Amino acid sequence: MSSENLRKEGVPEDKISFVGNIMIDTLENNRDKANQLRIEDVISENIIKETQTPYTKNWSQFAVCTLHRPSNVDQKEILGAILNFFSDEVANDMPVIWAIHPRTQKMLQSFGLWEKATSVQNLILLNPIGYHEMLRLNMSATIMLTDSGGLQEECCVLGTPCLTLRWNTERPVTLKEHGGASVLVGNNIDRIRAEYRTALAAKRHPQRPELWDGKTAMRCVNAIVNNSPQIH
């Protein structure tokens, strides 16, 4: 798609280099470091202090959630319905680890939903976490529910079933219909519920779109050198 757009803009064919996805280089270079982290440490070091509810410490199954887009968090009815799904349905199946974006926390509080979010058994709220911590969770998660494009890409390579809470995506190659791990569910609870049940029955199925091999940076350098006569 990007190459086609460049052609439409008049960029000469010999100036276009298909190099892959640089984010996957980052993932591959950080797998080992992330894998050294313990899930229980990620939780204990980042848990929001108001989260006082009991939760299971069996990490054989757990869901990971992130939300930050205005379409999901800026309307009380929508955010409340998503919270209810997380707390009343997903949390009954397994622990739900929700890394709370500051915008989302602000909206939960302003809508009067924060007390519920912090009092649900098995709904574990975390402060924003670092790259390695999130990668560690994603590597072992049973399912990801997110509106993050970056996590959508990582789920594809890791094979984590991913429900993308958006109606469209700039990353169609990550979708299940193209061999990826992600399904677009928007913020329609009936659709989220149906795809959630389907995803639970699925096994991890890591996929590598073309050139998502962790060597994109090398191809970028080669392309720059090959197209810069003054470097030779």
Given its phi and psi angles, is residue 211 left (phi above 0), alpha (psi -120 to 50 degrees) or beta?
left
Look at the pTM and tell me if it is higher than 0.85: yes
Task: Return the ∠ at Cα 48 (arms to 187 and 110), rounded to 5°.
Answer: 50
Whole-angstrom CA distances from 211 to 4, 22, 29, 123 are: 17, 10, 16, 37
Residue 122 lies in a domain: yes
Q: What is the pLDDT of residue 232?
A: 52
State which residues of the chain have pLDDT below 70.
1, 52, 229-232
Q: What is the pLDDT of residue 8?
A: 82
* Ordered strands of the 123-126 beta sheet: 123-126, 96-99, 63-66, 143-146, 162-164, 182-184
pLDDT tens for 52-61 read 677 777 788 9
Here the CATH number for the domain that contains residue 37 is: 3.40.50.2000
**Structural domains counted in the chain:** 1
Residue 130 lies in a domain: yes
Residue 6 lies in a domain: no
Contacts of 10 (CB under 8 A, 6+ apart): none
Residue 9 lies in a domain: no
| Cβ(100)–Cβ(127) below 8 Å | yes
Contacts of 228 (CB under 8 A, 6+ apart): none
Q: What is the pLDDT of residue 86?
A: 98
Q: Which residues are catalytic?
A: 68
Residue 140 lies in a domain: yes
Residue 194 lies in a domain: yes
Q: What is the pLDDT of residue 1?
A: 62
Q: What is the pLDDT of residue 12?
A: 79
Q: What is the pLDDT of residue 16?
A: 83
Domain that holds residue 215: 18-221
Residue 32 lies in a domain: yes
pLDDT tens for 59-109 read 889 999 999 999 999 999 999 999 999 999 999 999 999 999 999 999 999
Residue 7 lies in a domain: no
